[in-house]
Structure 1
Amino acid sequence: MNVLDLIQSEKHQGLPERYRELSTEEMVRRVSEIKEKFGNKLYIPGHHYQKDEVIQFADTTGDSLQLAQVSAANKEAEYIVFCGVHFMAETADILTDDNQKVILPDMRAGCSMADMANLEQTERGFNKMKAEFGDTILPLTYVNSTAEIKAFVGRNGGATVTSSNAKKMLEWAFTQKERILFLPDQHLGRNTAYDLGIPLEQMAVWNPISDSFEYEGDLEEVKVILWKGHCSVHENFTVENIKEIRATKPDMNIIVHPECSREVVELSDDAGSTKYIIETISKAEAGSKWAIGTEMNLVNRIINDHPDKEIVSLNPAMCPCLTMNRIDLPHLLWALEELEKGKVHNQIIVSEQVAEDSLKALERMLARA
């Protein structure tokens, strides 16, 4: 069953109207009461990009894989109410025990990047790539992908990567095969391969809509095949944003996420994962100035956490991640009140075979962590 089917099914019905009428104060009070009532049986991981109204109740904040791993390590928790997006909750379900239930407060909380690579497209495309290159391609997938894509990669000898370890995993992959297929984010793949010294001329883009390469030149020269996917948030940081900062605040450091385009990363002072960005700003001297190219909820949180520094968003017109923002206080309260009644809504269940194949991809990465 895909995400759309889950949303439309009666089992995963939408938010009851009464939750839209409750005051913030009442919702905060009720969430706090239920958390206290459940104690260690309830665990709420919250992704860095979540709203403050949700993050205030998170038992742990972090990146997607980190949250799934921490959830799996928390054996006391019977219910894991994952405040993130669908693929993150899938990874948590894959890693946690069978007796633990992973719940996503709003099934509409998806990821546009993850949705840019589905299993049918990937299998069809990979077969065409093998027809062109033979058995010379190893697939890697960013953890920001669906469980089905992780499983595909696991079945085909590949591994998952994070924005923190992508370089290490790409180095490993080249010890296995001559060419790499990088799913689903072309920008992270391109930036990582470039940092390893692979010229842009040896990278081709695979367009899953047209089922064809976007490449000018001799395909035999290609070392990295980049899936034509992207993060709708990070792709909105532009060269023009950087030029504006350089013109108006020339002493400001620009740090961006590697999901940004190659041109933006190249013109920035630094680039790294969400964790890297948070740690870099935390360690920076008081009075230092920063323009950050990542999701707006996180940027605002960093600004509030560091009043001793001048911090702005690289793109002042940037909106928060819209799908991540579907997890809000009303949906969180609804999920918890249903649990209080003994009902589990929006449980994320990954099939046994998909989970088994996904674990192969995850474990190949974790073995090299």
Structure 2
Amino acid sequence: MILTSLADKVAFNQYYEEAPADQIQRIRRIKAEFGADLFLVAHHYQKDEVVQFADAQGDSLKLAQIAAENHDAKKIVFCGVHFMAETADILTGADQDVLLPDPMAGCSMADMANSYQLAHCWQTLTATYGQEILPITYVNSTAAIKAFVGQHGGVVVTSSNAPKIVAWALRQAKRLLFLPDQHLGRNTALQLGLAPSELGLWLAQENRLQAVAPQQVRVILWDGYCSVHQQFKVSQITALRARYPEIKVIVHPECAHQVVAAADEFGSTAAIIKYIQAAPQGARIAVGTDNNLVGRLIKQYPDKKIMALNPFSCSCILMNRIDLPHLAWALDQVAAGREGNVIKVDAQTAFWAKQALDRMLTLSV
């Protein structure tokens, strides 16, 4: 339910005037009362004030797997962004409700590819290349995009499983359409040994393909990106290496390729966490990803010199819409027996999107 009336908005605004300690106590009480019937999950990029209540936390792949495996909870409170809650709804049962504390918690990358643009892209590409194209979508996409991909025999990927699944896809089809994140697609393709000349860029705003040699193209990248991961630059890495010669740099594959190439390592959120965990005591490591996670890693590993690659970068503004007041409001709705912000994907969209998601989960084993 989106707050539309003035009375609703005034009532919600009172949550920002309430003492945080009272909200924390109430959230814990409601969770205890509902027990296994209420399951709260949080993405790694959430703020500590939200993560403290999580029954499970993870990156996109982990959260998708958790949703698919949970058959007991009647209410799943999803502390992430809209496409993640959609994915959870698609993978859970009809008797389970997925609640997003703030329905305005979206994803700017997901918004860079819509069904209208994709339909025009597909029409143009199939007219050029025939039916020898397999669509792949990053999990950071809408349910409608996932459904299109599923309907055309394609698959969803996450940053954790992209190399494995893209390698599989390249064995299935002569060409791939990878959307919406060009950087994850480019970094993955180059990691698998493709040449830059084998990559093309689909300019959705212009409805055309940009490529050095169109007939050599094997992976067509959609012109989308994550605004958070565009805040990391090669100059930042260079400056840190000059100051700390021993430093290691690890970045997320949503960063531009020149940043990935300049770093020591790159990997998904889960891979970054594992890298930090395995690093020796005293290791100095700069991390290029959302600073909510970096700040948490700094606190969790005080024996290591963890630092943000760009300490001035903004965390995901849309992810941060899920805060303590929104979470308290969402749990109060559950306790009062009201619907709250339930995310529901229509049956046809969910059916086809699930085909693409199931392929991903099967290939990820």
TM score, norm. by length of structure 2: 0.96
Aligned residues: 363
Contact 1:138-1:177 within 8 A present in 2 as well: yes
Give the aligned residue type for 1:211: N
Q: Is structure 2 residue 161 aligned with structure 1 residue 165?
A: yes
Distance 2:221 2:102 in 1: 31
Structure 1 segment 270-285 matched on structure 2, within 5 A: 270-285=265-280
Distance 1:71 1:14 in 2: 34
Counterpart in 1 of 2:330? 335
* Partner secondary structure for residue 258 of structure 2: helix
Q: Is structure 2 residue 219 aligned with structure 1 residue 224?
A: yes
Following superposition, the deviation at residue 192 of structure 1 comes to 0.5
Counterpart in 2 of 1:80? 76
Call closer, same or farther: CA 1:87–1:13 in 2, change over 3 Å.
farther
Which among 104, 107, 117 is matched to residue 121 of structure 1?
117
Following superposition, the deviation at residue 20 of structure 1 comes to 1.1
Contact 1:69-1:92 within 8 A present in 2 as well: no
* Partner secondary structure for residue 367 of structure 1: helix
Counterpart in 1 of 2:259? 264
* Partner secondary structure for residue 360 of structure 2: helix
Counterpart in 2 of 1:302? 297
Q: Is structure 2 residue 127 aligned with structure 1 residue 105?
A: no
- Of the structure 1 ranges 196-205 and 86-95, higher mean CA displacement relative to structure 2 is found in 196-205
Contact 1:68-1:89 within 8 A present in 2 as well: no
Kindly, what percent of the aligned residue pairs are identical? 51
Alpha-carbon RMSD: 1.7
Distance 2:9 2:198 in 1: 47
* Partner secondary structure for residue 355 of structure 2: helix
Give the aligned residue type for 1:322: I
**What does the per-residue CA deviation read over 1:3-60, in whole Å, with 9 as the maximum and x for residues that have no partner?**
xx967699x9797121111011111111111111111111100100000000000100
Distance 2:64 2:336 in 1: 26
* Partner secondary structure for residue 251 of structure 1: coil
Q: Is structure 2 residue 313 aligned with structure 1 residue 315?
A: no
Counterpart in 1 of 2:192? 196
Contact 2:82-2:107 within 8 A present in 1 as well: yes
Following superposition, the deviation at residue 131 of structure 1 comes to 1.3
Contact 2:23-2:324 within 8 A present in 1 as well: yes
Contact 1:15-1:331 within 8 A present in 2 as well: no
Contact 1:43-1:71 within 8 A present in 2 as well: no
Following superposition, the deviation at residue 180 of structure 1 comes to 0.6
Counterpart in 2 of 1:146? 142
Distance 1:348 1:85 in 2: 11
Call closer, same or farther: CA 1:18–1:260 in 2, change over 3 Å.
same
Following superposition, the deviation at residue 76 of structure 1 comes to 2.4
Contact 1:15-1:334 within 8 A present in 2 as well: no
Distance 2:59 2:244 in 1: 30
Distance 1:298 1:241 in 2: 19
Distance 2:169 2:21 in 1: 51
Distance 1:296 1:175 in 2: 37
Q: Is structure 2 residue 21 aligned with structure 1 residue 21?
A: no
Which among 203, 210, 222 is matched to residue 207 of structure 1?
203
Give the aligned residue type for 1:218: A
Call closer, same or farther: CA 1:14–1:90 in 2, change over 3 Å.
farther
Q: Is structure 2 residue 354 aligned with structure 1 residue 359?
A: yes
Distance 1:9 1:138 in 2: 45
Contact 2:39-2:55 within 8 A present in 1 as well: yes
- Of the structure 1 ranges 14-23 and 184-193, higher mean CA displacement relative to structure 2 is found in 14-23
Distance 1:9 1:133 in 2: 51
Give the aligned residue type for 1:119: S
Give the aligned residue type for 1:190: R
Q: Where does the alignment leave 5 or more consecutive residues of structure 1 unmatched?
A: none
Contact 1:139-1:153 within 8 A present in 2 as well: yes
Counterpart in 1 of 2:343? 348
Following superposition, the deviation at residue 289 of structure 1 comes to 0.7
Give the aligned residue type for 1:115: D
Distance 1:15 1:231 in 2: 34
TM score, norm. by length of structure 1: 0.95
Counterpart in 1 of 2:45? 49
